[in-house]
Amino acid sequence: MENVIVITGGSRGIGAATAYLAADRGYRVCVNYRNNHEAASAVVDKINQQGGQAIAIAADIAIEADVVTLFNTVDSRLGNVTALVNNAGILEQQTRLENLDADRLNRVFATNITGAFLCAREAIKRMSTRHGGPGGAIVNVSSVAARLGAPGEYVDYAASKGAMDTMTLGLAKEVATEGIRVNAVRPGFIYTDIHADGGDPNRVDRIKESLPMKRGGQAMEVAQAILWLLSNEASYTTGTFIEVAGGR
């Protein structure tokens, strides 16, 4: 079976590292992104230059029609999806909960929760043996924030990851007899652009001394856990979580 992977938010950070590693492992790769065409093209070009097969598809996963178009495009250009990494996620300026308005909450939840649900829906329609598919695997990119709560920073973001964790548990059981495994990784403090979006670009270095391993993590260290969960080496593993957080 040809393995076809969709990685939401594959243009940068953890998603880009996952795209490179998936290509190394023989997957045909869809790099989804929202705005940054240049970054997505750079990932895809590097994979294709190294003999892999990758395409970049712009789609805002918070918009249902975009998600449907994304998966239809993957069908026609790469083939039936066998792996989904629900990686795209956002956070906004660090602040306390009393400063959050509905617009911000809806933006964060729309990408981090609704987007992940919609992508899982489209993947299951194609993977599930119930729908005549070959099976597959889904990995949700959650966060240690789901259990730490991100007080004073972004409780909204942390709560969105809590929702993703619950989706992981429920969906894993829902599709367990249909050839689909659903798991999640919970990264901790990883060197990517996301911290600048919270107004704290040096967050990982600021916090690292408080971590048991006294260092931040690299995107590739998260990608390795994701690829293990997707692989047949994890064939009896579903509805579970791998913490990639240096012991925090």
Ligand X SMILES: NC(=O)c1ccc[n+]([C@@H]2O[C@H](COP(=O)([O-])OP(=O)(O)OC[C@H]3O[C@@H](n4cnc5c(N)ncnc54)[C@H](OP(=O)(O)O)[C@@H]3O)[C@@H](O)[C@H]2O)c1
36: contact with ligand X by CB under 6 A: yes
Nearest to 1 by CA among 28, 20, 29: 28
In this structure, how many other beta carbons lie within 10 angstroms of the beta carbon of residue 96?
11
Nearest to 63 by CA among 7, 124, 110, 10: 110
- Answer for which of 60, 122, 153, 156 binds ligand X (CB under 6 A) is 60
Instruction: Determine the Cα angle at 73 with ends 71 and 37, to 5°.
Output: 100
61: contact with ligand X by CB under 6 A: yes
Answer yes or no: 157 catalytic.
yes
Residues contacting ligand X: total by CB under 6 A: 30
DSSP string, 11-32: TSHHHHHHHHHHHHTT-EEEEE
- Show contacts with ligand X in window 70-129 (CB under 6 A): 87-90, 111, 115
192: contact with ligand X by CB under 6 A: yes
- Answer for which of 184, 190, 234, 242 binds ligand X (CB under 6 A) is 190
By three-state DSSP, how is residue 159 classified?
helix
Q: Containing H/E element for 138?
A: strand 136-141
Task: Specify the residue, 130 or 206, whose C-beta has the smaller distance to ligand X.
Answer: 206
Q: Give the separation between CA 37 and CA 220, rounded to whole angstroms.
A: 21
**147 neighbors 158 (Cβ within 8 angstroms):** no
Choices 117-125, 126-134, 186-194, 206-214 (CB under 6 A): range interacting with ligand X: 186-194
The residues that bridge with 10 in the sheet, in sequence order, are: none
Among the listed residues 154, 157, 191, 236, the single catalytic one is 157
9: contact with ligand X by CB under 6 A: yes
Residues 209-248, one symbol each (x = binds ligand X by CB under 6 A, - = not), give ----------------------------------------
Please report, as ranges, the residues that interact with ligand X according to CB under 6 A. 8-9, 11-15, 32-36, 39, 60-62, 87-90, 111, 115, 141, 143, 187, 189-190, 192-194
Active site residues: 157
